[in-house]
Each structure stands twice: as structure tokens, then as C-alpha cells.
Amino acid sequence: MPNHLLYSPAVEQPEPDEQETFQKIVKLMTEGQDLTREKYGRPIRISHAKAHAILKGTLVVRQDLPTQLAQGLFSKPGSYDVLVRMASAPGELLDDSKVNSTRGMAIKVFGVEGPKLSGHTADTQDFVLSPGKEFISGNAKAFLQAFKPNAEVAPKLSDTTKGIVSTISRVTNEALNAVGVNSAKLDFFGHPLVHPLGEAQYSQTAFRHGEFVAKYGVIPDTPALEALIADKFDPETPDALREDCNAFLKVNAAEYSFRVQLNTNTDEMSIEDATSPWPEELSQYEEVARLIIPAQTAWDSARDSFVEPLSFSPDHSLVAHQPLGSINRARRVAYQALSQVRRSESGNSTTEPANANALAAN
């Protein structure tokens, strides 16, 4: 059995000036939100602005977990209601037929008991996930530089121009993949042409897992979902992702394996460098729960208005699943500041929903 790393505050190594970096990130993202507000005539999210599904489901924690996996939310078997948002990563409402950007999955778990992080008072636990096991930048300083074009330049470009960039990025990344290399930077606007419901999603960054340290993964785990990966996916309309999610989920349920990868040592499994995947020969992703989404409407006008007031953040968390590392510490500052501004300007409540019942799984 691997010798799993025990959590202590010492597993994080903050840089002396990182709070200054965080404030620069908030300023940059605020300026980006100002540009998109001007472009669309209303406030939108600086990331994951265009959702293509908002779903009601259940997270079922396994009964047979060993101690190192049975931690925090997963410490005892049971079922939790969840909301699942699928969305494209950029902070713009892009034309799916022209720009194929990376997509993400966010899960809001309800009825969660236990001490919460400071400032989080609702009984919810959020997991924010993206395709790929590595983040676009290693730490907050690198992210500040990498995000500048997305905040300062991208909102000023047409979708046609972004489409050219998207195609070049995708083809280049496919060539890199062919020789065993992947670029998260190219993937952002040049994501592979795969169905969004058929992609594995990962936390990419480290989290406390009760007494231990881990990363999380959510893996499609039904034949129908797995078939989506093999099928050609060619978005031909501006809202193709919404249309294809609707087409699939109106006749199919979706089920995912929720997995944990435990850290064994920080030398080979870095907490501070988010561009460094953790070697699976040292620690495999192991299932702790099943995410079950019944057949339902994935997107309609009611869901459009329902999703706007919602906020998904790693900061909405039990202490037992505290986000770790430079990128997550930056997220805790930026998500809170930007979400409050966006929802306040939109006239939406900044209070977390009490349960998932407002969204009917029809």
C-alpha cells in the first residue's frame, strides 16, 4: 500500500508576495468583465460564461471505502442531491460552430454536514472540474501572465477570428498528442471535437481530502456515454453544445465514476505547481462515489434564467476539502470578488440555494 501524504498546513508553500498577485488577478478579471459587459450589454461570468446544461442528479457515496478514501463528504455512505453545470470555459458567449473551446463541469452537492471554510455558511460542497489533468498555469503569477490575452484581447475579437485561432490550436494540439505531448494552453480555444457529456473531468489542482491530500476526477461510466467519445462530434450551430446535450439526455441517463487520487509525496506530486500531473503509477484514481444524472431536459429558457444567479467555487467547501496550492488560493480571492460583483449588478441574490428542488428533472 502506498504511504499516503498526511495533510498539514505545511504542505502549502505560499510565496511572500502572492496576495499582491491575487489582487492583480482580480483587477485584470474585473477589467475583462467590464469589456464583456460592454460587448453583451449585461454582466456575464469571466469564466464559464456560456452554460450548455444545468442538471439535477444524485451523488451516491460507496459503502465499502477504506479509511484513506472515506474522508470528509465521503466519510460515510449515503446519497446527496446535486446540481451539475456543464459550460464552456471562456468568459464569452461564443458561437459553438466557430470556436471549440475547452469545457468544464461544476457540481454543487447539497445537505453537506461539517465545518465549512470561513465565509461559507450554506450546507453545500462545490467541485469545479475541467478536461485534462493539468491546469493551464503552474501558479498564480504564471496565470496572471497567461490570462492577460483572454481578458484584454479576446473580447475584442470576432468569433470568426477566434474560430481561425481555434482550428489552428486544435490541429497543433492533435499533432502534439500524436507524439505524447499535450498543451493545456492550446486546448483552451482549440479543444478536441468531442461531445461534452463524454469527457472525463478533473480538479487539476490539489485539495485536502480529510486527513490526506488528493485530486479529483469524474469519469463517464455508461456504454452510452463512452460511445459519445467514439462518435464524431461536429458542432454546426451557434448553440450546438446545448442542442446535443438536450438530444442525449432526453432519452439517456448519464452516470459517472467520482474518483480520488491520493498524494504520496510532494516531490513527485506537486501541490504548488498545477501544470504537473501526478503520476498514476504512484497513486491511481479510485472510485469513492457515483454521480447519477437521470434523463431530463438539459437546457431551455427556464434553465437559462436559473443558472445565472448560481455561483460555483472551490471556496464553497467543507474544511475537509480545502483547496490547496497557489492557483486555488488565487481562486478563493478572485471567485468571491467577481461573483459578488456580477450577481449584484444583475440584481441576483448572493445567497447559496438551499436545495436542488428549484430545478425540476423533467
Query: Cα separations (Å) of 290 from 8, 58, 62, 287, 296?
Result: 29, 8, 8, 8, 18
348 CB-near residues (< 8 Å, 6+ apart): 308, 309
pLDDT in tens, 119-173: 899 999 999 999 989 998 899 999 888 776 554 544 544 544 434 333 333 333 3
CB 350 within 8 A of CB 344: yes
Does pTM top 0.75 for this prediction? yes
Q: Would you say residue 325 has pLDDT above 90?
A: yes
Instruction: Count Cβ atoms within 10 A of the Cβ of residue 178 and give its class: 0-12 exposed, 13-18 middle, 19 or more buried.
Output: exposed
The residue to which cell 431536459 is assigned: 297
pLDDT in tens, 65-124: 999 999 999 999 999 999 999 998 888 888 888 877 788 999 999 999 999 999 899 999
pLDDT (0 to 100) of residue 44: 80
pLDDT (0 to 100) of residue 162: 37
**β pairing state of 212-220 and 201-202:** antiparallel
Return left, alpha or beta for 117; rule: phi > 0 is left, psi -120 to 50 is alpha, else beta.
Answer: beta
Instruction: Name the grid cell of 329.
Output: 488560493
pLDDT in tens, 28-64: 888 888 888 888 888 888 788 899 999 999 999 999 9
pLDDT (0 to 100) of residue 52: 94
Measured between alpha carbons, how far is 58 from 61 in angstroms, rounded to an integer? 10
pLDDT (0 to 100) of residue 84: 97
CB 305 within 8 A of CB 99: no
Domains in the chain: ranges and CATH: 9-345 (2.40.180.10)
Q: Report the candidate in 134, 253, 247, 264 with the shortest Cα–Cα distance to residue 187.
A: 134
Q: Out of 99-108, 202-211, 302-311, give the one with best mean pLDDT.
A: 202-211
Instruction: Name the grid cell of 48.
Output: 464559464
